[in-house]
Amino acid sequence: MKHHADRAIALDEAIVAKENTPQARLDLSFSLSTMASYFEQIHDDQAALPIFERVAKSRRENFDADASNVWLQHRLLGAHVNVARMQFKLGRLEALRETLAEISRLLPRMRVNNDWEWARELMMFHTLRARSITAAGLAGPEYCAALAEAAHAFDRFTKSEKLEPYKAGERAWVLRELGQCGP
């Protein structure tokens, strides 16, 4: 798989160098995302993170060029969530807080709808937000709000999709922690 992803990235980079169009950048971002996912699958998160960061940067350029495109909005949110996941797994809490703050700044510019794909990205964002607060040793209203948003996104997602075991474990953690926040 790595060989094919390397080849696709080389081809897409050549196209972007020749014609730096939104479509060319988007194609490159998909090839890069495939490579980052490969590294994540073989548990090389150190290698995956900078590639996911390139994906987010490329998708941000497209978003800035056409912020009204809901599909591009969703792709950008997904890219940032992937960066945040890697930062959390690697224990890079300060960088994680910056990425989560960037997502928080972007969300008001996005037309989030109720389909399951948006719910999936939002449940991961809010769960990572809550986990980053916990890791920093903080608690309080912001923590409970993040948990409530994560629980809401999990509910929306599970109405249309079955949770994978990992996400079911995350949902259980969210609900357990939320129960300690009070009514």
Buried/exposed code over 10-28 (b: 16+ C-beta within 10 A; e: otherwise) = eebeebbeeeeebebbbbb
Predicted pLDDT at 160: 58
Residue 8 neighbours by CB under 8 Å, 6+ apart: 31, 34
Domain identity same for 31 and 54:
yes
Predicted pLDDT at 38: 92
Of the three residues 49, 79, 112, the one that is the final residue of a domain is: 112
Of the three residues 89, 112, 135, the one that is the final residue of a domain is: 112
Range of the domain at 141: 114-183
Say how far apart CA 171 and CA 83 lie, in whole Å.
20
Predicted pLDDT at 86: 92
CA distances for 138 relative to 133, 134, 141, angstroms: 5, 6, 10
Domain identity same for 138 and 149:
yes
Domain identity same for 100 and 19:
yes
Predicted pLDDT at 152: 80
Cα-Cα-Cα-Cα dihedral sign, residues 90, 94, 98, 103: positive
Predicted pLDDT at 68: 87
Domain identity same for 16 and 37:
yes
The first and second tokens of residue 35, run together, are 């490579």
Residue type, 91: G
Domain identity same for 56 and 144:
no
Domain count, the chain: 2
Predicted pLDDT at 106: 86
Predicted pLDDT at 4: 82
Domain identity same for 108 and 118:
no
Predicted pLDDT at 114: 58
Residues making up the chain, counted from first to last:
183
Domain identity same for 122 and 90:
no
Give the residue ranges of the chain where pLDDT is below 50.
Answer: none
Phi, psi of 104 (to 5 degrees): -60, -35
Domain identity same for 81 and 7:
yes
Contact 101, 145 (CB under 8 A): no
Domain identity same for 141 and 176:
yes
Q: How many CB atoms lie within 10 A of CB 109?
A: 11
DSSP state, residue 72: H
- Nearest Cα to Cα of residue 95 among 153, 47, 141, 136: 136
Contact 96, 83 (CB under 8 A): no
Domain identity same for 122 and 155:
yes
Of the three residues 95, 112, 129, the one that is the final residue of a domain is: 112
Contact 84, 99 (CB under 8 A): yes
Q: What is the CATH number of the domain that holds 108?
A: 1.25.40
